[in-house]
Amino acid sequence: MFYPRCNGKKAMLDKYHENEIFVARPEQLLLTLYDQAILGCKKQDEGKASSALARLIDALNFEYAEISAGLFRLYEYALRMVRQKNFGQALPILTELRQTWTEAIQKARAA
């Protein structure tokens, strides 16, 4: 059965989320990717978690080699665990990294 009003609301919601992304600060986007990866792990949704982790990997800036290399190894390990459906191994890593980024962002704003 087709419900045009529901599709219209979904389209409006999708447009709202799209606009949110375009105006978001980079740090907001980073936290959103962590949220998606964490939610994917909690729901045991390999596609959602893998997609978010792939985007986190793509966002790494290797001009800061030491930090980026460490994050790459963590992301890659979490991605491997997700693909093996071992969400319980990936979830605490992602949760801790998100918390660390949240604290770093708050400190940078306060400075």
pLDDT at 1 exceeding the cut of 50: no
List of residues 6+ apart from 31 with CB closer than 8 A: 98, 101, 102, 105
CA distance linking residue 32 with residue 52, whole number of Å: 9
Give residue limits of the domains in the chain: 25-110
Whose tokens are 């990936």? That residue is: 90
Per-residue pLDDT of 82-94, as tens digits, reads 999 999 999 999 9
pLDDT band at 16; cut points 50, 70, 90: very low
Work out the pLDDT band at 26, boundaries 50, 70, 90.
confident
Interatomic CA distance for residues 4 and 75, integer angstroms: 40
Q: Where are the alpha helices (DSSP H) in 4-86?
A: 4-23, 26-42, 46-58, 65-83
Mean pLDDT across 22-48: 90
Q: What whole-number percentage of the chain has pLDDT above 70?
A: 78
C-beta separation of 63 from 31 below 8 A? no
Top CATH class of 25-110 equals mainly alpha
